[in-house]
Structure 1
Amino acid sequence: MSTSPVSYQPTNIVLAKVKGYPAWPAMVLEESLLPPHILSKQPKSSKSTTTSTTTTTTTVKKIVPVRFFSDDTYIWININDIKPLTKEDIQNYFKKSNSKRKIDLLLNTAYELANDPPDMEQFIKYGSKGVPEESSEDDEVLSIPAKKKQKQAQSPKKKTKDNKIKKEPIKSKPKPKSKAKPKAKPEPKPKPKPVVVNEYDDDWGLDDFNKYDKSTGNYIYETEAEQQKVFKSIRI
């Protein structure tokens, strides 16, 4: 005998299980009230199944939109991953939670909201925090007095004897003149060195030729006397 699937309706409080996370209290929502960006993520496979008996015919949706309490996350979830969350289930959770050393405050808040759920439309619009409280400043009418243009009457200045006395400017003491350093005499320009020009006599180079040494072959004439005679005649 097969059991018929549970049909979840908007505002139903359920315990939803998502892989990797603890089971979390949530509310089933009306699709027509969902924000556009959530409605656009509706799975294409979210078809309805129809079950019929001899007396009634019911249509059950396989995937429904829920929003988690405290966390405020939306999700399209398969009905096989959720189950009804009763008041008794909530009380049992708090009994177990109080006995634990480490308490998940976010999850505890979710169970508290599930125990006393908010209005569905407000839950969709404002989330778990609910409608924001209006500030008292909106109710109070602030009366701001108009700013008066206050012109301060300028009282005429009385001429006193003190005003007649003109203050002489304090002359600053002249700075001592720094002694000018004596100008250094310009050094005399060095005289250009005369270019030495080698002067040569008329007998230039004759002494170098007038050498007589037969042992080395350095001679011109056969006898030294003859050679000396010739060179003397050249110099005259």
Structure 2
Amino acid sequence: MSTEQEFKVGDVVLAKIKGFPAWPGIIMDDENVPSDVLEERPSSKNRQLYTVRFFPAADYNWATARDMQRLTEADINEFLEKTAKKTSDLYKAYQIARDPVAWNEEKNKIVKEHEEWLANGGADEEEEAEEEEEEEEEPRKRKAPAAGASRKKAKAPEPEEKAEPEIELDPATKRVREWRHKLQRAFLNKEGVIVASELETHDATFKTVEAYDEMTADQLKATKIGKVMKRINQLAEIPRDDEFKFRERAGALVLRWGAILGKGEEHEGDETREDAREESKDDAKDEAKGAESTNA
């Protein structure tokens, strides 16, 4: 993309990654890159690889000097003036590129909080909660009675266990749960089919979630929207994902929310792990009820 040249941390560049259009981003140092991203860096014995954090989704990739060019203020202004589609992600990327300092500092803060959460065992506790949730989500349908059992008419049926009362959620948490159900039906339905003609609608849902800056740890625990995002991020294929970048955006949200969960656990103080497990079970029941109501 350009002749060989030197780049430094903080340079705003236009980087070309194989399979993607040239895109604005910023050169990062390892200190401000998530550890799980650094683990994926390819070996580079005979070439220098630069880590690029791309605007506006804060996803990462690596590029050589030949794959990048510096973005000057004149380059950025020219693109913004000539581009007709002002709502595209590429347009937003160039807007951030014009003055990326505040945006980049916020992303660095999120990475730092996430790494602290990991260092304090956050990932292990999350895995335990997910394992318990999966146990709670075993199929609840009753098996048909055996032929012999149907003849025992004299014996009264055993009373069903009373369902525990559903915890009432506040309006904001209900809204987050609704987003979770929409995304789950769209990307993780039982049929395993993602309808290409509905991708614009799903993109709008993603944008709504991404713009929501008042997410709390309690909302994340109650709705399990983070688990859905993690599974979307891990999908092998999504139609037109090179255009919408659903997987990358889901990964960015998982990272962002991981930091929020870390903060929430700090505020909880002396709450025991057993209490956390009981909350996880309640959350799983609420999730199952929500899924059943949306499939009805």
Q: Which has the higher helix share?
A: 2
Q: Which has the higher strand share?
A: 1
Q: Please report the TM-score for the alignment, with normalisation by the length of structure 1.
A: 0.42
Q: Please report the TM-score for the alignment, with normalisation by the length of structure 2.
A: 0.34
Larger gyration radius, structure 1 or structure 2? 1
